[in-house]
Amino acid sequence: MWIERTLRSELETCFRQFPVVVLTGPRQVGKTSLLDKTFPRMTYVSLDSGSAAESARSDPVSFLERLGSPAIIDEIQYVPELLRFIKARVDAVGGNGHYLLSGSQSFPLMHGVSESLAGRAAVLTLSGLSGAEWMASDTQGLPWEEFFFRGSYPALWAAASDSPSRDRWYQGYVATYLERDIRNVIKVARLRDFERFLRAMAALTGQMLNLAHVARDVGIAPSTAGQWLQVLVASHQVFLLEPYHRSMGKRLVKTPKLYFLDHGLAHYLCGYSSYRSLRESPHAGAFFENYVVGQWLRHRDWTNPRMGLWFWRDQSGNEVDLVIEADGRLVPVEIKLKERPDPADARGIRRFMELYGSPGPAGIACLTREPWEPLAGIHAFDGRVAPSPGFNFGV
pLDDT in tens, 213-266: 999 999 999 998 998 998 899 888 999 999 997 765 555 667 899 999 999 999
- Residue 80 has a pLDDT of 86
Q: Which residues contact 371 (CB under 8 A, 6 or more apart)?
A: 379, 380, 381, 382, 388, 390, 391
What rounded mean pLDDT belongs to the chain?
A: 89
User: What is the distance in angstroms between the CA of the first residue and the CA of the last residue of the chain?
Assistant: 33
Checking 86-91 for CB contacts under 8 A at 24+ apart, the result is 86/20, 86/116, 86/117, 87/116, 87/117, 87/120, 89/64, 90/19, 90/20, 90/120, 91/120
Work out the pLDDT band at 150, boundaries 50, 70, 90.
very high
Mean predicted confidence (pLDDT) in 187-202: 86
Work out the pLDDT band at 50, boundaries 50, 70, 90.
confident
- Residue 109 has a pLDDT of 62
Let me know the angle formed at the C-alpha of 290 by 285 and 292, rounded to the nearest 5 degrees.
95
Q: Is the pLDDT of residue 164 over 90?
A: no
Same domain as 141, residue 62: no
Range of the domain at 109: 7-125
Same domain as 355, residue 216: yes
Same domain as 200, residue 82: no
Work out the pLDDT band at 302, boundaries 50, 70, 90.
very high
User: What CATH number is given to the structural domain containing 53?
Assistant: 3.40.50.300
In this predicted model, which residue has the larger pLDDT, 192 or 96?
96
Q: Is the pLDDT of residue 205 over 70?
A: yes
> Last residue of a domain, which of 81, 107, 125?
125
Checking 192-200 for CB contacts under 8 A at 24+ apart, the result is 193/218, 193/219, 193/220, 194/228, 197/225, 197/228, 198/174, 198/232, 198/237, 198/269, 199/269, 199/270
Instruction: Please say whether the beta carbons of 150 and 263 come within 8 A.
Output: no
Same domain as 135, residue 117: no
Q: How does DSSP assign 16-30, residue by residue?
A: HH-SEEEEE-STTSS
Rg (CA), the chain: 22
Work out the pLDDT band at 374, boundaries 50, 70, 90.
confident
Same domain as 202, residue 71: no
Task: Confirm whether 143 is domain-assigned.
Answer: yes
> Last residue of a domain, which of 99, 125, 151?
125
pTM of the full structure: 0.92
Task: Confirm whether 1 is domain-assigned.
Answer: no
Task: Confirm whether 2 is domain-assigned.
Answer: no
Quick one: what percent of the chain has pLDDT higher than 90? 65
Same domain as 270, residue 390: yes
Let me know the angle formed at the C-alpha of 96 by 94 and 97, rounded to the nearest 5 degrees.
130
- Residues facing residue 239 across a β-bridge: 259
- Residues facing residue 57 across a β-bridge: none
Same domain as 227, residue 88: no
Domain count, the chain: 2
Task: Confirm whether 94 is domain-assigned.
Answer: yes
Quick one: what percent of the chain has pLDDT higher than 70? 90
> Last residue of a domain, which of 76, 107, 125?
125
In tens, the pLDDT along 330-369 reads 899 999 999 999 999 999 999 999 888 766 689 999 999 8
In this predicted model, which residue has the larger pLDDT, 361 or 379?
379
Same domain as 179, residue 59: no
Work out the pLDDT band at 138, boundaries 50, 70, 90.
confident
Work out the pLDDT band at 16, boundaries 50, 70, 90.
very high
Same domain as 280, residue 323: yes
Same domain as 134, residue 113: no
